[in-house]
Every structure is written in structure tokens, then in C-alpha cells.
């Protein structure tokens, strides 16, 4: 399928490049480093070869969220967004951007999102999970009341917020002690992000701001396959949850899922059954995954052609108000 739109496609700036070293071993780092810093040549060639018409780029993880000092987080986010804007200006027909945000300071995050969307033309926000604030062991999740004005601004700007994974802090998740192979994208990323998404749902955020849109990668970080049991048990054992609706209702109406890094047709069909094909978007997770692997799988997946067109291009075009 030609003209696919991909939207979990990463880049790095010098200040955040080292965050990605843990995802490769040995000589693989030189390749990953080159791909993260390349915003034009090899990236565009890969897109052309595999039928991707547009990529919406985002900063690598944990990126800004791992900078405890709010002032420095704000400065690095601004530099990263300016770097991305310069790259987009060279190929606006093939590249677009998500804003990196200093969520350590809700007011600064709101201001930078506004600048990125209004002045730079970015398509939304891309935030790598919780933020470390003040020191490495103090974390902030975005269901906290301090973020309500920020969420109001996201709704006002009418842009999506992509909640991307990062590892939990070792001090807060001792269950991984002695089992480092389950950290990162193998397992811990998804569990951490799913819980953060549930916190947003359970807090009543979407009752307060009913037009918010959140995007989750990796076919929903496991949520489509667990949400029925979650709601079933919440209904049997109510615990005073602030949310007015079920988690299933929020997931189906306020969230989109992408195929990033999860190239398995039965899982895709499960997500389509639970969410509807209108709520799923194609993505690669480049350069941590190979564009060819994602594109070949998706183009050949045993799904109706009408759904392939929706997931591959039409849903994203509508969500991001693109002219196709």
C-alpha cells in the first residue's frame, strides 16, 4: 500500500541521543545513532522504498522526561522542537512533527505546546511517560490536578497527545530486580504506559475534557485485551473511582492505537474487534524497528482492504487534518 502515514517515528538531538544506547548491543549502536540523527537522507529513502508517504516524527525516549531540572528540560525541548521544525521545512511533503514537552513544569509544557502547534505547525504532543521532577527519584504522572490547565489547552488546540513508554524507575518497581530482560520494550514499557493511561481514565480527566484525544502505541500496550476484565471487576468491587464511565468507553472513544512495533495480524484483528478499525493507525517505531518489516507485514495482513486503507492512511489524515 502506497501513501501510508506513520506516526511513531523517532529522532534524537545530541542531548537525548544517549538515552537510546541501551536498546542495542555491540556494533548496532553506530547504525541506530546514525538513523536517529538523520532527518532526511536514509529516513526518506526508507519511506519511499516501503510506501510511506508521510512520517510524523517525535523525540526518542525518555528524552525530555528524564531531565529533572525544569528549566533545562524546557530549554532542551525547545531546541529539539526547533531542530525538528527545520527538518520539516526542508521536506514538508514527507515530514511532520510532534512536540516534545517539559512536563516537569505544567505551565512551561502548555506554553511550548502552544508554540509548537501555532508557530511551528506541529500536529500534537508526544510525551515519553512520567517526568522526573527536581531529582531522579521524584516522578510526576499527568492525572495530577496541577496538569488540568495543560489538558484544557490540549483540548482547546484540538491536537492529539501521544503517550509513549519509558521504563519505570528501578526504585519504584523492584519486581524487575534480577530480571533485566523484561525491562524496556520487551515488557516494562507496555505495563508502565498502560497503567499511566488507566490513571488518566480513572481520574475523570475525560469527563472534564471530553474532546481530548490520546494515542497509544504497540496496539494499545495490552489494554484492548484486558479492559473487559478490568471493568468487570471494577463493577463488582467499586472503590470510589472518580471516572463517570467505564474504561472500555474511554478507550473506544478517547484513544487511538498504532501498530508501532507490534507486527502480528491476530493482535491487530483483536484490536480492530475491540476498538473498531477507525481507531487504529499504522506506525513503524523507526529506527528501533525496521520499516520493511512493518510495511511488508501491514501490506500483506489478512484484513479487509477497506480497513487497510483506513488504518494505513485515512484515519490519520482525518485525525491530523491532513490534505491527502
Q: What is the pLDDT of residue 324?
A: 62
| Mean pLDDT, range 153-162, rounded to an integer | 98
On whether residue 67 sits in a domain, the answer given is: yes
- Domain of 88, CATH number, reads 3.20.20.140
Q: Summarize pLDDT for 247-271 with one digit per residue, the tens.
A: 999 999 999 999 999 999 999 999 9
Q: What is the pLDDT of residue 238?
A: 74
Q: Summarize pLDDT for 89-141 with one digit per residue, the tens.
A: 999 999 999 999 999 999 999 999 999 999 999 999 999 999 999 999 999 99
| Mean pLDDT, range 65-90, rounded to an integer | 98
What is the per-residue DSSP string for 230-268? HHHHHHHS----S-SS-HHHHHHHHEEEE-TT---HHHH
| Mean pLDDT, range 155-166, rounded to an integer | 98
On whether residue 281 sits in a domain, the answer given is: yes
Q: How far is CA 20 from CA 57, 110, 217, in A?
A: 16, 26, 18
On whether residue 324 sits in a domain, the answer given is: no
Are residues 5 and 322 in contact, defined by beta-carbon separation less than 8 angstroms?
yes
On whether residue 304 sits in a domain, the answer given is: yes
62 preceded by a cis bond (ω within 30 of 0): yes
User: How many CB atoms within 10 Å of residue 241?
Assistant: 13
Look-up: residue for cell 501513501?
3
All three cell numbers of 283 = 506506525
Residues recorded for the chain: 324
Q: What is the pLDDT of residue 237?
A: 85
How many CA within 13 A on the CB side of residue 198?
A: 16
| Least confident stretch, 115-124, 189-198, 233-242, 311-320 | 233-242
CA distance linking residue 20 with residue 60, whole number of Å: 7
Q: Summarize pLDDT for 217-239 with one digit per residue, the tens.
A: 999 999 999 999 999 999 998 78
Whole-model pTM over 0.85: yes
Question: Catalytic residue numbers?
Answer: 285
Q: How many domains does the chain have?
A: 1
How confident is residue 158, by pLDDT bands cut at 50, 70 and 90?
very high
How many angstroms separate the most distant Cα atoms in the chain?
56
All three cell numbers of 277 = 478499525
Residue 247 CB contacts under 8 Å (≥ 6 apart), including other chains: 198, 201, 202, 227, 230, 231, 234
Instruction: Looking at 97-136, list the stretches that DSSP marks H as alpha helix, in order from N- to C-terminal side.
Output: 106-114
pLDDT, the chain, mean:
97
Q: Summarize pLDDT for 278-292 with one digit per residue, the tens.
A: 999 999 999 999 999
Does 26 have pLDDT greater than 90? no
Helix axes 106-114, 148-157, angle to 10 degrees: 10
Residue 270 CB contacts under 8 Å (≥ 6 apart), including other chains: 224, 225
Q: What is the pLDDT of residue 101?
A: 99
Q: What is the pLDDT of residue 218?
A: 98
Q: Which range of residues forms the domain containing residue 129?
A: 4-319
Q: How far is CA 227 from CA 36, 147, 232, 234, 252, in A?
A: 34, 25, 8, 10, 11
Amino acid at each position: 500500500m502506497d501513501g501510508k502515514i506513520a506516526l511513531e517515528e523517532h529522532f534524537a538531538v545530541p542531548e537525548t541521543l544517549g538515552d537510546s544506547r541501551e536498546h542495542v548491543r555491540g556494533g548496532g549502536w553506530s547504525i541506530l545513532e546514525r538513523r536517529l540523527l538523520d532527518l532526511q537522507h536514509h529516513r526518506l529513502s526508507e519511506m519511499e522504498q516501503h510506501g510511506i508517504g508521510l512520517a510524523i516524527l517525535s523525540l526518542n525516549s525518555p528524552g525530555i522526561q528524564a531531565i529533572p531540572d525544569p528549566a533545562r528540560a524546557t530549554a532542551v525541548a525547545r531546541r529539539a522542537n526547533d531542530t525538528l521544525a527545520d527538518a520539516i521545512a526542508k521536506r514538508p511533503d514527507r515530514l511532520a512533527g510532534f512536540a516534545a514537552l517539559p512536563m516537569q513544569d505544567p505551565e512551561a509544557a502548555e506554553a511550548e505546546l502552544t508554540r509548537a502547534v501555532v508557530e511551528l505547525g506541529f500536529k500534537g504532543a508526544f510525551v515519553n511517560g512520567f517526568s522526573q521532577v527536581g531529582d531522579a527519584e521524584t516522578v510526576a504522572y499527568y492525572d495530577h490536578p496541577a496538569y488540568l490547565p495543560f489538558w484544557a489547552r490540549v483540548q482547546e488546540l484540538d491536537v492529539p497527545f501521544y503517550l509513549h513508554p519509558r521504563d519505570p524507575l528501578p526504585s519504584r518497581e523492584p519486581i524487575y530486580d534480577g530480571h533485566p530482560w523484561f525491562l524496556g520494550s520487551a515488557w516494562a514499557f507496555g505495563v508502565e504506559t498502560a497503567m499511566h493511561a488507566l490513571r488518566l481514565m480513572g481520574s475523570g480527566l475525560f469527563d472534564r475534557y471530553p474532546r481530548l484525544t490520546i494515542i497509544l502505541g504497540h496496539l494499545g500496550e495490552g489494554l484492548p485485551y484486558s479492559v473487559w476484565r478490568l471493568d468487570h471487576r471494577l463493577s463488582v468491587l467499586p472503590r470510589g473511582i472518580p471516572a463517570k464511565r467505564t474504561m472500555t468507553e474511554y478507550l473506544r472513544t478517547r484513544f487511538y492505537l498504532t501498530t508501532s512495533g507490534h507486527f502480528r495480524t491476530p493482535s491487530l484483528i483483536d484490536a480492530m474487534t475491540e476498538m473498531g478499525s477507525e481507531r487504529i493507525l499504522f506506525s513503524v517505531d523507526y529506527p528501533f524497528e525496521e520499516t520493511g518489516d512493518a510495511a511488508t507485514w501491514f501490506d500483506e495482513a489478512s484484513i479487509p482492504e477497506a480497513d487497510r486503507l483506513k488504518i494505513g492512511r485515512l484515519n490519520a489524515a482525518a485525525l491530523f487534518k491532513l490534505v491527502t
